[in-house]
């Protein structure tokens, strides 16, 4: 607990944190973290000063190796994937069970509340542990339809009622559930305001009734299925929160910690270290890659930090959560596992999507494949988010863009109602073979395929349009209109009248001049 919330003399024990994010695909991101710790002899000598109450008498000198429980990281409540943990010199380090973390987190909250004169009594402590024990996967993983809700909206009471009945064997009537909701509403608002993050309906600190289902899993709660007793636990917790609110600003760390453990948990590791030497703890795990099209920031165009919508669509982004809390230095680097993907300069935003105006970054290194920064300022935001723009390399983008332009010209010419010579048809349809080649070529990674998704969708639409136009041309829609049937014109009628006048009989009944021997000479 001393290292979870270290007092001022020991806040520099965690000297440096190095995070390396590698985008592996459109679904996976690997996070490798290294934490440099200073020697622990000072804090250990304070914990074990002399032989008393069964403690070891160190006589001012600690053994060369001690087994300690260290906080590795504060993780969101999710299943760990490909998690690896290494101690000093790549020695073995053991991640503590989740229940151990729950108990230590409760002890930490109690130790923070005691000096304020607001002790955490037994009944309130049981609900604090229930808040820490609840994991969102119990609801979202097992009953996704119950968890489906609009972003930023609380869970429906009927969904909570169904969850408690299925997962905790608690048959709570709708009227009782509404009474419980009214009871904890103010406490939920206090905890949400203390954390100052966007509302999360699956946070057990902001939806306290979700934690009710964890009481029967606590071995120290013999009446976890008694509805009257559960209401007593809720009442004790709400009373404790009200007392903390009356204390004022001094109680904010306690409220913030309770709200924090509604969303996250402390990963603790048992490590053997030399108490007089600095040491290094390494972890690695796979996270879900969060990709968006269009920058999820609230930056106005006048601020010069956000481009037009079409550019945001063509340059999608990855969201990287940064946890730089602490007084030591913090290093972070972001890269990809695909050399065909390039990175734009990231924009740092807070949990609400607003740009962080002062990032306190002291040095950066960036190129087309890696972005890294360094900071030692203790005033830096403890949690933020990097919006990292993604694009394909220039050679791929130029070729894809050129083929797209040619396909647009091809479809435009094919749509004109004019007859094209066979040679012209062969020439203007040549880009379609290039477009088909681009569509059939598989990208090196799903990340590159996702970035090129809009461009390939456009090429596919142009190919389909070209095929439709080719079918219409084959059906003859572009053929010239058939000539109208020939009829007597005024000029032809006049010529016929002249010819008739030349063949008329002469006056007096004689034979016409051009009639010779009973025949008519052809005119």
pLDDT at residue 415 is higher than 90: no
User: Is the predicted pLDDT of residue 484 greater than 90, yes or no?
Assistant: no
Checking if the pLDDT of 215 tops 70, the result is yes
Position 54 scores a pLDDT of 54
**Measured distance CA(325)–CA(384) in Å, rounded:** 10
d(CA 37, CA 269): 14
Q: What was the pLDDT predicted at 109? A: 96
CB neighbours of residue 133 within 10 Å: 25
Among 11-25, 139-153, 252-266, the least confident range: 139-153
Asked if residue 358 lies in contact with residue 302, where contact means CB atoms within 8 angstroms, the answer is: no
Task: Look at 42-46, 171-175, 316-320 and tell me which has the smallest mean pLDDT.
Answer: 42-46
Angle between helices 122-133 and 227-247 (to 10 degrees): 100
Element (H, E) at 178: helix 174-195
Distance (Å, whole) CA 338 – CA 345: 18
Closest alpha carbon to 199 in 140, 259, 139, 266: 259
In this prediction, residue 157 has a pLDDT band, given cuts at 50, 70 and 90, of very high
- Per-residue pLDDT, 482: 53
Angle between helices 252-260 and 174-195 (to 10 degrees): 120
Calpha distance 17→6 (Å, rounded): 17
Q: pLDDT tens digits for 472-482?
A: 877 777 655 55
Is 248 within 8 Å of 198 (Cβ atoms)?
no
Q: According to the model, what pLDDT value does residue 513 have?
A: 43
When pLDDT is cut at 50, 70 and 90, the band that residue 41 belongs to is confident
Asked if 155 and 149 count as a contact pair (C-beta separation under 8 A), the reply is: yes
Counted residue by residue, the chain has a size of 523
Q: Is the pLDDT assigned to residue 502 strictly greater than 50?
A: no
Q: What is the mean pLDDT of the chain?
A: 83
Query: Percentage of residues in the chain with pLDDT exceeding 90?
Result: 47
Range name among 59-68, 284-293, 349-358 with the lowest pLDDT average: 59-68
CB 115 within 8 A of CB 189: no
| Amino acid 478: pLDDT | 61
49-63: per-residue pLDDT in tens?
Answer: 544 455 555 556 788
Which is more confidently placed, 505 or 165? 165
CB atoms within 10 A of CB 131: 26
Question: What local confidence, expressed as pLDDT, does residue 55 receive?
Answer: 54
Per-residue pLDDT, 300? 41
The model's confidence at residue 204, banded by pLDDT at 50, 70 and 90, is: very high
Provide the pLDDT for residue 118. 94
517 falls in which pLDDT band (50, 70, 90)? Answer: very low
Highest mean pLDDT of the ranges 27-31, 54-58, 289-293: 27-31
209 pLDDT band, cuts 50/70/90, is very high
For 219-240, write each residue's pLDDT tens digit.
889 888 899 999 999 999 999 9
pLDDT at residue 459 tops 70:
yes
Q: What's the mean pLDDT in 140-158?
A: 86
Q: How confident is the model at residue 136 (pLDDT cuts 50, 70, 90)?
A: very high
Confidence of residue 373 (pLDDT cuts 50, 70, 90): very high
Q: CA 80, CA 36: separation in Å to the nearest integer?
A: 22
Q: List pLDDT tens digits, range 61-95.
A: 788 888 999 999 899 999 999 999 999 988 989 99
Query: Is 150 or 364 the better-scoring residue by pLDDT?
Result: 364
User: Where is average pLDDT lowest: 8-12, 179-183, 272-276?
Assistant: 8-12
Q: What is the DSSP letter of 92?
A: B
Cα–Cα distance, 71 to 95 (Å, whole number): 10
CA distance 336 to 446: 12
Band (pLDDT 50/70/90 cuts) for residue 512 is very low
pLDDT at 411: 87
Distance CA 412, CA 185 (A): 61
C-alpha 144 chain-centroid distance: 18
- Per-residue pLDDT tens over the stretch 94-131: 999 999 999 999 999 999 999 999 999 999 999 999 99
Per-residue confidence (pLDDT) for residue 500, from 0 to 100: 47
Which residue in 35, 6, 5 sits closest to 19, CA to CA? 35
Q: How confident is the model at residue 519 (pLDDT cuts 50, 70, 90)?
A: very low
The answer on pLDDT for 310 being more than 70 is no
């Amino acid at each position: 607990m001393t290292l979870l919330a270290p007092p001022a003399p020991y806040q520099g024990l965690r000297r440096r944190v190095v995070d390396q994010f590698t985008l592996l695909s459109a679904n996976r991101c690997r996070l490798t973290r290294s934490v440099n710790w200073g020697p622990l002899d000072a804090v250990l000598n304070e914990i074990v000063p002399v032989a008393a109450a069964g403690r070891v008498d160190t006589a001012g000198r600690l053994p060369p190796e001690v087994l300690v429980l260290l906080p590795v990281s504060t993780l969101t409540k999710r299943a760990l994937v490909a998690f690896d943990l290494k101690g000093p010199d790549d020695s073995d380090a053991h991640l503590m069970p989740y229940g151990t973390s729950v108990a230590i987190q409760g002890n930490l909250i109690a130790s923070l509340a005691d000096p304020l004169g607001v002790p955490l009594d037994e009944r309130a402590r049981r609900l604090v542990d229930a808040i820490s024990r609840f994991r969102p996967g119990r609801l979202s993983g097992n009953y996704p339809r119950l968890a489906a809700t609009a972003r930023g909206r609380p869970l429906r009471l009927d969904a909570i009622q169904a969850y408690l009945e299925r997962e905790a064997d608690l048959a709570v009537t709708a009227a009782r559930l509404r009474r419980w909701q009214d009871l904890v509403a103010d406490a939920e608002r206090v905890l949400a305001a203390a954390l100052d993050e966007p509302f999360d309906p699956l946070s057990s600190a902001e939806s306290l009734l979700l934690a009710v289902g964890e009481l029967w899993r606590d071995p120290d709660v013999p009446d976890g299925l008694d509805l009257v007793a559960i209401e007593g636990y809720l009442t004790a917790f709400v009373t404790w929160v009200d007392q903390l609110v009356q204390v004022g600003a001094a109680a904010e760390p306690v409220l913030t910690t309770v709200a924090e453990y509604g969303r996250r948990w402390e990963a603790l590791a048992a490590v053997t270290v030399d108490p007089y030497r600095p040491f290094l703890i390494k972890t690695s795990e796979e996270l879900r890659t969060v990709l968006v099209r269009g920058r999820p920031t609230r930056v106005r165009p006048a601020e010069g930090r956000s481009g037009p919508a079409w550019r945001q669509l063509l340059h999608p982004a990855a969201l990287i959560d940064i946890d730089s809390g602490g007084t030591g230095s913090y290093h972070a680097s972001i890269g990809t596992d695909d050399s065909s993907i390039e990175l734009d300069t990231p924009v740092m935003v807070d949990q609400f999507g607003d740009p962080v105006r002062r990032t306190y970054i002291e040095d950066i290194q960036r190129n087309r494949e890696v972005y890294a920064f360094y900071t030692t300022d203790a005033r830096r935001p403890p949690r933020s988010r990097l919006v990292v723009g993604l694009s394909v390399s220039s050679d791929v983008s130029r070729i894809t863009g050129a083929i797209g332009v040619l396909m647009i010209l091809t479809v435009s010419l094919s749509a004109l109602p004019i007859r094209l010579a066979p040679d012209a048809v062969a020439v203007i349809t040549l880009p379609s073979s290039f477009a088909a080649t681009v569509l059939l070529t598989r990208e090196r990674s799903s990340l590159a395929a996702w970035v090129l998704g809009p461009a390939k969708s456009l090429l596919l639409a142009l190919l389909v349009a070209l095929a439709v136009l080719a079918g219409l041309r084959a059906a003859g829609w572009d053929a010239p209109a058939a000539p109208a049937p020939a009829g007597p014109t005024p000029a032809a009628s006049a010529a016929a009248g002249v010819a008739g006048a030349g063949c008329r009989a002469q006056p007096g009944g004689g034979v016409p001049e051009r009639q010779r021997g009973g025949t008519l000479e052809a005119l």
